[in-house]
Amino acid sequence: MEEPGISVVIRTRNSAATLRKVLARLDLGPADELVVVDSGSGDETLALAEAARARVVRIRPEAFTYGGALNSGFEVATRPWVLSLSSHCVPVHGDLLARFRKAVGRLDARVTAVVGPIVGEFPSPLPDGVTLYHHGELRRGFGFGAGNPNCLYRRTAWERRPFNPDSSFGEDFQWYFAALDAGEVVAAVHAAAVEYASRRSMGAFYQKGRLDRRFTSRLFEVHRPTVGGWLVRVLKMAAFVALGRMHWRTALGSVAYYAGMLAEARGERRG
């Protein structure tokens, strides 16, 4: 049986440092295609995309939203499955698409989205297998970082339900819950992991923590962050760095992210 082709859609803006690593480990085959949606890069990003024979979609920086940019890429994608892959997420293994392809080959038509884990640097091995989520079963999350940085969609399902073009964050989970409400199934493929390699500032991690807390608290049964929990995270990150299991930049980002979540949760109580 012929293997299904996959369109890979990557959103970029001045992403050359990590995009180079992503493309080097991306196992594009003859039936696959690469689409890059760029919102005003001034570095080598576009040169890397052109060298990889990507179809480049350009959008104005001021018009960028996460949902809108993805819709722009999905509109020109032609394969039956479309992978939303972050320019900051490097495949842990050199056969990411093969792992997704193997999974979708044994999933039925009710499955419209297939996510892979997002892990930190020096990741621990994840168990193989596929978890299926039906209506009401995603309220506690996937159990690992996941979402549009590494998610495969059935293109016909996206045609019925494009991403929210006004969404500045959380467009992936909005889509998942709408799919589940419609009787569709979301799958998690544990072996299709990517490593989050962004070097954003501590302030950016802090703001992301605030935004994620604001959004996820509406959809998920999340634990309320506490000062004690933040201190535990500080100690855990310090131990990971000392043991060589995590880069110090990643550890500081994790601490800043939790601090942002804590600040947002405290604001919720005051409100």
Shared-domain flag, residues 260 and 166: no
What is the average pLDDT across 74-101?
Answer: 95
Q: What share of the chain is helix, strand, coil (3-state, %, to 5)?
A: 40, 20, 40
Shared-domain flag, residues 167 and 62: yes
Shared-domain flag, residues 174 and 220: no
217 vs 109, higher pLDDT: 109
Give the containing element (helix H, strand E) for 76: helix 66-76
| Domain, as residue range, for 35 | 6-196
* Cα–Cα nearest to 224, from 255, 257, 253, 263: 263
Shared-domain flag, residues 133 and 102: yes
Would residue 43 count as lying in a domain?
A: yes
Shared-domain flag, residues 166 and 111: yes
The amino acid present at 207, given as its one-letter code, is: Q
CATH number, domain of 169, equals 3.90.550.10
Q: What is the pLDDT of residue 219?
A: 67
Would residue 71 count as lying in a domain?
A: yes
CA distance 197 to 220: 26
154 vs 124, higher pLDDT: 154
Would residue 176 count as lying in a domain?
A: yes
157 vs 259, higher pLDDT: 157
pTM: 0.83
Q: Is 229 exposed, middle or buried (0-12, 13-18, 19+ CB in 10 A)?
A: middle
Q: What is the pLDDT of residue 1?
A: 47
* Cα–Cα nearest to 197, from 246, 259, 258: 246
Q: What residues pair up with 151 in beta bridges, in sequence order?
A: 84, 115
Would residue 1 count as lying in a domain?
A: no
Would residue 73 count as lying in a domain?
A: yes
Which residues make Cβ contacts (< 8 Å) with residue 94, sequence separation at least 6?
A: 25, 27
Domain count, the chain: 2
Residue corresponding to tokens 């039925």: 108
Q: What is the pLDDT of residue 2?
A: 58
For the chain, the average pLDDT equals 87
What is the average pLDDT across 113-126?
Answer: 72
Shared-domain flag, residues 109 and 78: yes
Q: What is the pLDDT of residue 144?
A: 78
Shared-domain flag, residues 156 and 49: yes
Shared-domain flag, residues 19 and 104: yes
Q: What is the pLDDT of residue 122?
A: 45
Would residue 248 count as lying in a domain?
A: yes
Shared-domain flag, residues 185 and 237: no
The amino acid present at 82, given as its one-letter code, is: V
1 vs 92, higher pLDDT: 92
Shared-domain flag, residues 12 and 76: yes
Identify the domain boundary among 148, 174, 196: 196
Q: What is the pLDDT of residue 149?
A: 92
